[in-house]
Amino acid sequence: MLGSSNAVSALRALAAHRLDVPFDADGVPQLSWRGALDRIAAELSRTGVPQLENPSAEHLAEALEDVARRLRRGSGGESGPALLDMMASELLDADAALRKGEYPVALDLARRVCAVIVCLDEIATHTAAPSAGPALPGAGQAHLRVVEHRVPSIPTTSPPAPQTSARLPELPWRGGTLVDVVLGSHLRHLRECQGLARADVTARLPACLQGIDVDALEAGSSPVLREAAAGGRLADVLHAYGTGAIAATDFEHCVAANTRTRHGYFIDRGPGRAHRYQLLEHQASSMLLAGSLLVPAAVRVPAYEQAVARKEASRVRVADNAAPRAAAPVSDRSCALCQAYRADLLHGPQAATAWLRQVGAVRAEAFEGRLRAPDAPPTTVLLDSDLLRRPDDEPGVHAAQMLHLAHLARTTALRVRVLPPAAGAVLTADTAELAFRDGRIVTAVWGLVDITYQHGDDLRPHIALDRALPPAESVRLLERAAAGDLPRRARW
């Protein structure tokens, strides 16, 4: 049942002890592209897959799928080899990124696959049913430890040692495929901003699509978008929602990039990803935002947001294959962000970057309003202590950001916790955990060019949260950071 983000984290921790290569702070092996492919091929050969000479990403993905099929037959279910299917998809994404010249992205994906596949014997042990006979050749007998939904407090005297015990459970995902849920939520927002009823959308659909259940589409409980994309009719569905070429390219990219992923996993690399995340954040009943590399966007001051945008402008993805059209008048009742998106005004890095800054500003304003509401939902911001150290190049911006965080912590429902260097835990990514009223939990990890969603909570932020400083002490550190009373850190 190894499919949750917790299982991936546990496997990567085990891989750190098995790969005889340097690792970064995230437990990812520092291998070259060829080195990562060779290591994956070597691990797969232990399962009976023929040894591949000069292995390619495509051949290794096929081999992974073959192993997944064999494990599926042995386990008697579909959930066991989902992790291997996901790794095969990651390899193909890595190869596609490499062909586009995005070498760092491709290399990171290949390294991530390598760090999991090196524990293939663990995967085989946990997916093979007891009655199915021995696991794949070379499969070990060690088990990953059980992780509860919330991690109990851990003493701060020393880091937790790797443990072994029973099988890690898969957290249930209720509802449709996660890609359908996220994109369906975006469609509902687009419709409501224009004051359209569901019947209005249906009336705009061509005759061959009149049977679409708009309720199920927007709830994410129907594969309408994926079926429409397969039939070449996705643009017709989006046109019924008043969108143009940008949205068509955005949604097509999201659907195409996730055709091979499991139900509770979604990689969003489309140009509208920041706005889609903002919509989910607005619906969440509670949140945990963990900042490892940057202060979370929802609590940034404008100057900090602009500084980040300047440094990340070269990484903005734009819909370069969508033909621009003349801007048409749009009627958006409550969301100015949708006007540019629907009118195809996001062409070129400058326009896309300006729109992302606007998304950040709207998100921060809505977030602060949420924190000041009488029935404010539980919200926690967890910061790596390194973010409090003043950078050399942006001292004024840094001071304003630290004071803003301290002010929010003192005057709103926001709880800020700082993870000290000696905590024995580390934050490895900018992560948001969103809990919804129906009991579902979605974890979003922000990368350089994508947002990766998974159902269920992530073990690492909760370990760090248990070891973080209390809120009162964290606020005092923020005020010291604003005054420049902490050591400076490297340029960000």
Give the tens place of pLDDT for each residue, 353-391.
Answer: 788 888 888 888 889 998 998 888 889 999 999 899 877
pLDDT of residue 27: 65
- CB-count exposure of residue 183 (10 Å: 0-12, 13-18, 19+): buried
- Rg, C-alpha atoms of the chain: 23
Pick the range with the lowest mean pLDDT from 152-166, 202-216, 368-382: 152-166
Question: Does residue 144 contact residue 120 with C-beta atoms inside 8 Å?
Answer: no
Amino acid residing at 347: H
Cα–Cα distance list, 104 to 82, 92, 98, 141 (Å): 26, 15, 8, 35
Helices (H), 135-223: 178-193, 198-204, 214-219
Pick the range with the lowest mean pLDDT from 117-131, 187-201, 394-408, 415-429: 117-131
Q: Which helix (H) or strand (E) holds 254?
A: helix 245-257
pLDDT of residue 383: 95
Pick from 165-169, 358-362, 453-457 the range whose average pLDDT is largest: 358-362
Segment 26-58, tens digit of pLDDT = 667 788 888 888 888 888 887 777 777 778 888
Q: What are phi and psi of 83, to 5 degrees?
A: -65, -40
CB neighbourhood size of 195 (10 A): 11
Confidence of residue 7 (pLDDT cuts 50, 70, 90): low
Give strand pairing partners of 394.
Answer: none
Question: Does residue 144 contact residue 122 with C-beta atoms inside 8 Å?
Answer: yes
Please give the average per-residue pLDDT across 467-478, as a whole number: 94
Confidence of residue 6 (pLDDT cuts 50, 70, 90): low
Confidence of residue 333 (pLDDT cuts 50, 70, 90): low
Say which residue the tokens 């750190």 belong to.
16
Residues in the chain: 492
Q: What are phi and psi of 451, to 5 degrees?
A: -125, 125
Give the separation between CA 274 and CA 53, rounded to whole angstroms.
Answer: 41
Question: Does residue 442 contact residue 429 with C-beta atoms inside 8 Å?
Answer: no
**Pairing mode, if any, of strands 286-291 and 265-268?**
unpaired
pLDDT of residue 335: 80
Write the DSSP symbol of residue 167: P
* Residue among 387, 415, 421, 382 nearest 402 (CA): 387
Give strand pairing partners of 23.
Answer: 29
Structure tokens at 411: 């005057």
pLDDT of residue 393: 64
The residues, ordered by sequence, that sit 6+ positions from 305 with a Cβ below 8 Å of its Cβ are: 297, 357, 360, 361, 364
Write the DSSP symbol of residue 308: H
Structure tokens at 218: 């927007």
Q: What are phi and psi of 418, to 5 degrees?
A: -105, 130
Q: What are phi and psi of 81, to 5 degrees?
A: -85, 15
* Residue among 406, 425, 424, 423 nearest 471 (CA): 406
Segment 89-108, tens digit of pLDDT = 888 888 888 888 888 888 88
Give the separation between CA 144 and CA 357, rounded to whole angstroms.
Answer: 42
What's the mean pLDDT when you consider all of the chain?
76
Write the DSSP symbol of residue 325: -
Percent of the chain past pLDDT 70, that is, above it, reads 75
Structure tokens at 392: 């050399």
- Half-sphere exposure in the Cβ direction for 341 (13 Å, CA): 31
**Pairing mode, if any, of strands 441-446 and 286-291?**
unpaired
Q: What are phi and psi of 443, to 5 degrees?
A: -105, 130
* Residue among 293, 309, 252, 259 nearest 445 (CA): 293
Give the separation between CA 123 and CA 84, rounded to whole angstroms.
Answer: 9
Please give the average per-residue pLDDT across 426-446, as a whole number: 86
User: Long-range contacts of range 392-397, CB-CB < 8 Å, 24 or more positions apart?
Assistant: 392/488, 392/491, 393/491, 393/492, 394/304, 394/307, 394/492, 395/484, 396/303, 397/301, 397/303, 397/304, 397/307
Cα–Cα distance list, 486 to 48, 386, 399 (Å): 56, 10, 11
